[in-house]
Structures are given as structure tokens and as C-alpha cells.
Amino acid sequence: MNENKTKLTEEEKKLFGDLMPEELDEIISSGLNRRHFMKLMGLASAGLLASHLIGAEQLFARSAEIGDIADLAPAAIENGINVSFKVNNTAKKVLIDSRATLLDTLRERLDLTGSKKGCDHGQCGACTVIVDGKRVLSCLTLAATCEGKSVITIEGLAKDNELNPMQAAFLKHDGFQCGFCTPGQICSAVALMKEAKEGQASFVTADVRQNQQSVILSDEEIAERMSGNICRCGAYPNIVAAIKEAQTGKNVEQTWLFAG
């Protein structure tokens, strides 16, 4: 790890000083590692404030940016391809196996494990990332086809310690339970905001012949447009509320539907 870039800000020093005082020296001298992260996760489940955790995740995203890719390369690469692309606005050049999916490249080579491998067959949406402004499934995208493209993952949505409004809305509305589908849900929802702004219709939009300026998303529109992201915990009402709030900027109450 490059020491320069993993240097902690005063804010971060305070954060880790508060949470893991015994690890602080190690983090300052040699950067963050997975053990620190697991410990952080443990603290989170014990009631750590979510905002602290996001600060820590930001630091992880930053340290991953300068991870020495050559060191992470697997022992054998068949039919190697050099791919240059941008990940979270940082230029990357990586030698990959021709079979490597974008998802595996992000997770195994670039150490960005926010994007999740759920089904690995394009049925669950947990791997959703944003490529050149559009949401796609990274498990069905070969990394080799990403030459020159710009990829945004969940790690790239916040600006420093400031959450993307969609992330904040998911936190506020508990738009998750186990959290596994959440990175995909949030990336999908962020891209959805742009689609709605551009007036793109969905299958439940009334009349596509009228070119709409921008779409205010109803519950039904959100459900249809987010149907590519499955949540096995069933946090859907909260996810819908979070997306509504992120779009309108107004407080949204959850709508609970009970069988009549």
C-alpha cells in the first residue's frame, strides 16, 4: 500500500482513535487491512453509528485505489488481455484472463468488494454497477469489453464523507435487512434517478406516445423499474420509500400494503 494515499485525515484519525484505539498505530503506519474492516463490521453490528462506518468505507475505497494490482494478479492467466478503464474516476490498467467478468475483476483484482456476487447469472441484480452512466449487470459483462469505459461502483458514490443522497435515504428508511443486495439496489436506484429525469418510460407508464419531460416515480413505477434487483429479506417497502425520498427530497412515509 502506498503510504501517501492511505494517510489518515484528522477526522479519520479521530474516528479510528474512538473505535479501535489499539489498532490506530498500525493503521497509521501500514494502512487498513481486512482484519480492521471485519472488526469495524463487528462494531457496526454492535450499534456503531452508520455515519462512522461510511467514513471508514470511504477510506477503504481510497486505499483500494492504490492497491498494487500486479501483486493481486492470480498465478495463472489464460489468454491475457490488457484492459484500461476508469473505476470510480480513477484510471486502471489491468491484465486479465479473457474469461474474467467485470464483477470478478472489481472484487478479486481491484479489491472493490462492494459489488456483490449473488446468482452470477443475471437474475438477482446484486452485482449492478454503472457503466458510462447506465446501470448494467457486472456478472454478465466481460471485463475485456470495458476497454475505455467508466465504471462507478457503490464505493464511488459518496463524495469524501458525504453520502450520495440515495445512500442516505436507504439508511434513513432501513432499505435493507442483511445488506447483501444493497450495493446493487443503490447503484440501480442512482441510475434510475437519471432515467426518470430523462423521461424514460417503463412498462407501467400510461402512454409512451406522449414524450414525457421527467417522470415523478409512483410506488408502482419504482417497483417495475427496480424489478431487476431482488431483495430476499423483502425490504421492498423501505427501498421504495427511500427512492421516493431521494427523488423528491421530501420526507416520505412508508406505505405498507396488507392483503385485504
Partner 1 sequence: MNDFNYTRVYSMDEALANVSLGKGHRVIAGGTNLIDLMKYFITTADELVDINPISEHQTIEELPDGRLRLGAFATNADTAYHPLVESRYPLLNRAILAGASAQIRNMATNGGNLLQRTRCYYFYDINTPCNKREPGTGCSAINGYNRTMAIMGTSEHCIAVFPSDMCVALAALDAVVNIVGPEGTRQLPFADFHRLPGNTPHIDNNLMDNELISSIDLPEKGFSSSYSYLKLRDRNSYAFALVSVATALDLEHGLIKEARIALGGLAHKPWRVQEAEDFLKGKQASKTNFEAAADLILQGAKSFEFNAFKIELAKRAIVRNCMMALDPDTQQPGAQPSL
Binding site for partner 1 (CB under 8 A): 78-79, 81, 98-99, 101, 120-122, 125, 128, 134-137, 139-142, 144-145, 147, 188, 191-192, 195, 200-204, 206-209, 211, 220, 223-225, 227-229
Residue (of 31, 40, 25) closest to 6 by Cα position:
31
Q: How far is the CB of 120 from partner 1 (least distance, A)?
A: 7
Task: Name the residue type at position 188.
Answer: S
Minimal distance in Å, beta carbon 150 to partner 1?
14
**CB-based contacts of 205, cutoff 8 Å, min separation 6:** 212, 215, 221
Closer by beta carbon to partner 1, 89 or else 218:
218
* 158 or 223: CB nearest partner 1: 223
3-state secondary structure of 94: strand
User: Smallest gap, in angstroms, from Cβ of residue 221 to partner 1?
Assistant: 9
Task: Say how far apart CA 230 and CA 181 lie, in whole Å.
Answer: 7
Q: Which CB contacts under 8 angstroms, 24+ apart, belong to 86-92?
A: 86/149, 86/150, 86/151, 87/112, 87/151, 87/153, 87/156, 88/61, 88/112, 88/151, 88/152, 88/153, 88/155, 88/156, 89/150, 89/152, 89/156, 90/65
Closer by beta carbon to partner 1, 135 or else 173: 135
Q: Least distance from C-beta 140 to partner 1, angstroms?
A: 5
Q: For partner 1, which is the closer residue by CB, 101 or 167?
A: 101
Distance CA(43)–CA(145), nearest Å, equals 39
Instruction: Tell the smallest beta-carbon distance from residue 13 to partner 1 (Å).
Output: 39
Give 15 or 96: the residue with its C-beta nearer to partner 1.
96
Nearer to partner 1, 163 or 215 (CB): 215
The least CB distance from residue 239 to partner 1, in Å, is: 14
